[in-house]
Amino acid sequence: MVQLINRLIRQYVPEGVPLSEALRAWYLQSGYWYTTSFLVHAIGFVVLGIVLSLLPNVFPGVFGPSSPNETLTLEPASQGDGVELEVPRFEIGDAPYEYTRLGPDTLLLGPQAPQKAIYIDDSDTFIAPGGGRPSDATGPKLGGLGGFSVPRRGPGGRGGLGSSDGTSDTPGAGGGLGEGLGGRGQGSRKALAGVSGGTGPSERAVAGGLNWLARHQAPAGNWTLQHTKHCKGGSCSGPGDIAHDAGATALALLAFLGAGETHKGNGPYRGRVQKGISWLLKHQNPKTGDLSAGAPQPMYSHGLATIALCEAYAMTRDKNIGEAADKAVRFIERAQNEATGGWRYMPGQDGDTSVLGWQVMALKSAQMAGIGVSSMAFEGARKYLASVAEGKHRGLYKYQPYDQHGIKASMTAVGMLCQQYIGIARDDPSMIEGREFLLANLPDANLNRDIYYWYYATLVMHNFMGPEWDRWNRPMRRTLIDTQCKGGCAEGSWDPQQPSVDTWARAGRVYMTAMSTLTLEVYYRYLPLFKINQGAQPPQPPDKMSLAVGLPAVSDPPKQTQ
C-alpha cells in the first residue's frame, strides 16, 4: 500500500524533490483559486439550505407535506407560553341562586385572586369596558341562527348566526368574535347573561366547570372520559366506560370556546385550548378528514370535534384550523345515507336522530364560520326528520323510524333544534306542539335526570325566549347550580351518579361537566333565533356607563328570579 501511494505521488512530484516543497509550490501557484472556489460553494450550499427550509412555510401545498397530522399545527402567532402547568382550584362558594334584582352583587362574579388584566375578546379594536366589536344585539336585525349559506362578506343570510352586518373577515355570518359570537366576549357576556336569564351564581358555576375541566386535561392535550388517571386529587369518581377521547376533547373545548376562551386570546385557559385543538389536528385522518381518532362509533366523536374546530375557526380565523374543519365537513357530507338522509354510528348507515343532531349542528357551525356546506345535506336531514316525526302536528320525535319505544323527550329536543336550524317558523304548529311537550318535562335532578336532554332542550327553548323560555330556564338553572359539586378536587364538576343516576351516567364526569357547563353558557353562546327572525328586539346589553358601574340594564328590577 505504501509503495502504491509513493508511486502515485511521484507521478506529480519529480524524483529528489521533497513532498513538502512540492505542496508549497502548488499552493502558491493554484491553492488560492481552489480555496476561493471551496468557500463560494460552501456559502452557496448554506444559502440554498436556508431557502429550502423556508419554502414549506411560504408554499405549504407545494414544497411540504399536506397531511394535517404533519403540518396542521396552530399558527405561529397563536403559539406562546400560555400552557398552565398547574391550575389552582376555583372555589364556587354557597351563594344563593334566588335574587330579586340583577346588580353588582348578583350579576358580577365575586373577587378572585389578583392577576394581570386580560381581555378575552379577540377583535381588532377594543372598546372599554369589556371590549370587542359591538354585539350583534346592538345592530340592525338581519337574521338569526337558521342558515349560514352566504360564503362572502356581508350581512348574514336568513337565519344566519347573529344579526349585524359583517364587519370582519368572517364570510356570510357577519363576522367573528364580537359579531355572530359577540356574546362570548367579556364585555357583552356579563350583560347578555343578565338580561337573558343568567345570574352571578350561574356564571360562577360556569367558571367552576371550566376550572375542573382544565385541572383534568391529559398531558397530551386531550380529555378522556376515563378521567381518574388525570385526577391529581384522586377523589373524583364517576369515570366513563366508553372510549371517545376525540368526543371528550371536543366537548371540553366547546365549553371553553363558549366562554370566549381561544388559543389566540389572553384568557387564563389559552394554553389549555391550544393543546386541545392541537391534539384534534394531530389525530385527524389526513386522507378522509375523520376526527374520531379511532373511536368505536366514529360519527359521534367526529360530529362533536367538527363543531369545536368550526367554532374555533370562526373565532380566530386560524387558517390551519379552517383547513382541518373543511375536511371534517366533507367527511360528514360523504357519511350521510343517501336513501334516508340520516347519519348513524358508522358512515353510510341508515341513521338515528341522536347522531343526526350532532352532524346538523356541525354543518351549521361550518356555515357560521364561512365554510361551504352542500344544501343537499340539509335536505337529507329534513327528509330523515320527517321519517321520525310523530304527534298531531308532527312535532314530536323518536330515535328511529321503526322505534318500538315511540317518542322521547330527548329526541324531540334534538329534532326541534335541527328543524330550527333548517329554517322552520316559530309559530309552526309542530314547533308549538314540541314546545309544550318539553315544558311538560322540565328538568328535575331527582326525576329522569338527563343532561343530554336538558342541553338540547335548553338550546331549543332559548330560541323562543319570552315566558316559555322563563318557564324552562328557572328549573334548569336552579337544578344545575344546586347539583354542582362543591369542595375537594371534584369542586366545579357534576357527578353522574348523584343526586340520582343520569341517563348518560356511563359517559362519566367529564361528559356531565362539559355538557352542564355548555348548558349554563346558553345565555351568550348564541343569540335567540326566533326573536331575531321575527324582527323583534333581542335582549339588549346595558349601555357602557351602566356596565362600567355594574348597574342593572333596565330601570325597573325584574321579578323574583330563581
Q: What residues form DSSP beta bridges with 407?
A: 398
How many whole angstroms separate alpha carbon 259 and alpha carbon 154? 26
**pLDDT value of position 223:** 96
Amino acid at 2: V
Q: Tell me if the bond preceding 68 is cis, omega within 30° of 0.
A: no
CA atoms within 13 A on the CB side of 35: 7
H-helix segments, 216-269? 245-258
Among the listed residues 225, 369, 231, the one whose alpha carbon sits nearest the alpha carbon of residue 293: 225
**pLDDT value of position 102:** 38
- pTM for the whole structure: 0.70
How many whole angstroms separate alpha carbon 299 and alpha carbon 305? 10
- pLDDT mean values, one per 10 residues, the chain (562 residues): 64 66 66 74 79 56 41 53 54 50 39 42 38 37 32 34 35 37 59 79 96 95 83 76 92 96 93 97 97 93 98 96 98 98 97 98 95 97 98 98 94 98 94 98 93 98 93 97 93 94 92 98 81 44 31 31 40
Cell numbers given for 366:
361550518
Task: Write the DSSP assignment of 543-556 as a string of letters.
Answer: PHHHHHHT--SSSS
What's the CA angle centered on 126, arms 522 and 74, to 5 degrees? 70
Contact predicate 185/130, CB 8 Å: yes
**pLDDT value of position 22:** 67
**pLDDT value of position 179:** 38
11: Cβ contacts below 8 Å, ≥ 6 apart: none
Among the listed residues 137, 146, 144, 135, the one whose alpha carbon sits nearest the alpha carbon of residue 361: 146
Cell numbers given for 126:
377594543
What domains are there in the chain, each with its CATH number? 136-549 (1.50.10.20)
Count of helices and strands (H, E) across the chain? 20, 2
The dihedral built from the CA positions of residue 8, 13, 17 and 18, taken in this order, carries a sign that is negative
How many whole angstroms separate alpha carbon 145 and alpha carbon 116? 36
How many whole angstroms separate alpha carbon 430 and alpha carbon 385? 12
**Residue 475, Ramachandran bin (φ over 0: left; ψ between -120 and 50: alpha; else beta):** alpha
Contact predicate 258/458, CB 8 Å: no
